[in-house]
Amino acid sequence: MRNAYLEALYDLAKNNRQIMSLNADIGAIVFDKFKADFPDQFINFGVAEPNMISAAAGMASCGKIPFTYTIMPFITMRTYEQIRNDVCLQKMNVKIVGVGAGLVYSTLGPTHHAIEDIAIMKVLPNMTILSPADPLEAKKATFAAAQIEGPVYLRLGTSKEPTVYQHDYDFTIGQGVKLKDGKDATIIATGSIIHDALQAVEELEKEKISVRLVNIHTIKPIDKEIILHAAGETKAILTLEEHNVEGGFGSSVAEVILEGNCPPVKFKRLGINDCFCSFYGTHQELKSHYGIAKEDIIREVINLYRQKGN
Amino acid sequence: MGEITELENIAQKIRKKTFLMIFHAGSGHIAPSFSSVELLVALYFKILKIDKNNYRDNDRNRFILSKGHASAALYAILAEKGIIDENILNTFCQRGSILGGHPEAHSIPGIEVSTGSLGHGLSFGTGMALAGKLDKKDYRVFVLLSDGECQEGTVWEAAMFASHHKLDNLIAIIDHNKLQSLGQIDNIVSLKPFADKWESFGWGVREVNGHNISEIIDALEGVPFSKNRPSVLIAHTTKGKGISFMENAPIWHYRMPNEDELKIVLDELDIDESELGK
């Protein structure tokens, strides 16, 4: 996703000199081409993220369109009040781009994991939150972020995410994507973990359970319609996120369903179960250890399906 | 009447209006506002060249009140400049007013940046100054900070960044009244050696008496203080300046006078009792 983001940013910067790539000393090599071709549109702020965000707001107030970029916990938590007061309160056209969603920086440990960012970013008024599933979607989300005049938080993975979208499609902010239709249950997910969900859905098909898969690439504003249709039509919802279940994406989906006057729905949030993740290994190994891997998804869908009386 | 005398008269008028606004509202920061009055007058009536016709121009000089708790004094200034309506001053902090205890940019004409939380303004101003350099504009960015605010780490993040990028169009002005909310800065977390700190961060430094308008103007007309460097004006001030019992008394950071104290204020600020009801 990181490279897809950079390709999109390169195109944006080429066509609009107001686009600025701001960075807090992260991304060796990958920014080289951008720096070489647009030296006036790239600034490394050093290891000082709060200053980067406030300065980005100041630049935006003078017409610049800053894309600020660093590892996710540092760009969301170290800078939180700067994002709140200088960007969101004043509706500044600043893009907050975090790299390393969820547990993707597995071996770097809990300081580098991002499992609270959705919760804290979604409570900020005026913020749009984009959470792409694969590189193609990351590219589209970057272009879409530039189109919005106002704050955007872009939640990226890192590199080598598997492909979710086999074909081109229309990306519209605020509109979820039905990746697969199904009638027995729906998985509503966000981010690169959608790929695990796709695999789970294929295996569940073999068990004769027909599962709908919905990708929510815009966490805020959330697509209520696609959620309520899924709830009404399949009556079983599993939300899936690489994030703490507390206050996370699944909570947003639950709120939509509860306020949506749905018929009774079986519902479960699958995510990291309110703990820091100090287990080391590969990204996939961490997902398995913390119960958000393909097998966990399959198990939870079957549970919901049975609860419906099957 | 000489220009400086005229500006001193304006400063006195601003103190009076600021007090009346805060007294009428029953809340606000009198003492921190009063230590900034001469700085604001020098800026708005001599240095910034901002008026009601140009305050939105792309090429305008920018001013950020990073010590947002001095908002009342700034509102009085904006009214005096005709940028906001004089008649709304007495709505300060009251139901439905646009004039809050900390200034908000989206609702108040002439306010560049919403402030209130300390340690944001210099970074924000750094971004404005950098944008000005990139776009080859001539405007300058002035940021008024409190001294206690300089305990915030972001102030020094911005200071490092601004000197690295040679932002000679950025001017920090520090209202150095030596007090913070709970007492003397020196007894809480000292900033000393203050001027040396800025100097070592690569800034051009000057120090003035922050209540002497002509000294302030002389200094600010000479920016940048050092070639290719951002400038910092350390303005030595007295918190609560103009009301004898509030001067240098930490307790007056955020407090209303009682009946006896009020009599002294009216006398010292030359306010008629009938003006209180307005």
Question: B197 CA to chain A: closest CA distance, Å?
Answer: 18
Q: Quick one: pLDDT at residue A27?
A: 81
CATH value at residue B144: 3.40.50.970
Per-residue pLDDT band at B202 (split at 50, 70, 90):
very high
Residue A264 burial by Cβ neighbours in a 10 Å radius (0-12, 13-18, 19+): exposed
Q: Does B3 touch chain A (CB under 8 A)?
A: no
From CA B258, how far away is CA B244, in angstroms rounded?
15
Q: Quick one: pLDDT at residue B3?
A: 95
**Closest by CA position to A186, among listed A207, A165, A215:** A215
Per-residue pLDDT band at A250 (split at 50, 70, 90):
very high
User: Shortest CB distance from B126 goes to which of A58, A63, A64?
Assistant: A58
- As annotated, the residues of chain A forming the CATH 3.40.50.970 domain(s) are 2-156
Tens of pLDDT, residues A174-219: 999 999 999 999 999 999 999 999 999 999 999 999 999 999 999 9
pLDDT of residue A24 exceeding 70: yes
What integer best gives the mean pLDDT of chain B? 96
- As annotated, the residues of chain A forming the CATH 3.40.50.920 domain(s) are 177-307
The top-level CATH class assigned to A2-156 is alpha beta
pLDDT of residue B278 exceeding 70: no
Q: Quick one: pLDDT at residue A249?
A: 98
Helix axes B3-25, B259-269, angle to 10 degrees: 160
Q: Quick one: pLDDT at residue B122?
A: 98
Asked if B239 and B31 count as a contact pair (C-beta separation under 8 A), the reply is: yes
Q: Quick one: pLDDT at residue B41?
A: 98
From CA B94, how far away is CA B100, in angstroms rounded?
8
pTM comes to 0.97
* Catalytic annotation, residues of A: 49
Per-residue pLDDT band at A85 (split at 50, 70, 90):
very high
pLDDT of residue A309 exceeding 90: no
Lowest-confidence pick of A76-85, A132-141, A272-281, B245-254: B245-254
Which residue do the tokens 């000082």 mark? A48
Q: Quick one: pLDDT at residue A94?
A: 98
Lowest-confidence pick of A28-37, A45-54, A232-241, B15-24: A28-37
Q: Quick one: pLDDT at residue A29?
A: 83
Cβ pairs A/B, distance under 8 A:
89
A-proximal residues of B, 23-62, CB under 8 Å: 58
Q: Quick one: pLDDT at residue B260?
A: 95
DSSP string, A92-142: ---EEEEE--BTSSGGG-GGG-BSSHHHHHHTSTT-EEE--SSHHHHHHHH
Q: What is the CATH number of domain A177-307?
A: 3.40.50.920
Q: Does B158 touch chain A (CB under 8 A)?
A: yes
Per-residue pLDDT band at A28 (split at 50, 70, 90):
confident
User: Shortest CB distance from B154 goes to which of A54, A56, A62?
Assistant: A54
Q: Does B110 touch chain A (CB under 8 A)?
A: no
* 3-state DSSP assignment of residue B238: coil
* Single-letter code of the amino acid located at A138: A
Mean pLDDT of B240-266: 94
Structure-token pair, residue A54: 């406030």
Q: Quick one: pLDDT at residue B90?
A: 94
The residue range of the domain holding B247 is 3-276
* Single-letter code of the amino acid located at B104: E
From CA A13, how far away is CA A3, in angstroms rounded?
15
pLDDT above 70 coverage of chain A, percent: 100
Structure-token pair, residue A131: 């959470």
pLDDT of residue B157 exceeding 80: yes
Q: Which residues of B touch A61 (CB under 8 A)?
A: 112-113, 124, 127-128
User: Shortest CB distance from A50 goes to which of B123, B134, B135?
Assistant: B123
Q: Quick one: pLDDT at residue A246?
A: 97
Q: Does B155 touch chain A (CB under 8 A)?
A: no
From CA B199, how far away is CA B196, in angstroms rounded?
5
pLDDT of residue B36 exceeding 70: yes
User: Shortest CB distance from A51 goes to which of B112, B134, B157?
Assistant: B157
Question: B248 CA to chain A: closest CA distance, Å?
Answer: 31
Question: A146 CA to chain B: closest CA distance, Å?
Answer: 18
Q: Which residues of B touch A44 (CB under 8 A)?
A: none
Q: Does B123 touch chain A (CB under 8 A)?
A: yes
Q: Quick one: pLDDT at residue B199?
A: 98
Mean pLDDT of A107-127: 97
Q: Quick one: pLDDT at residue B96?
A: 95
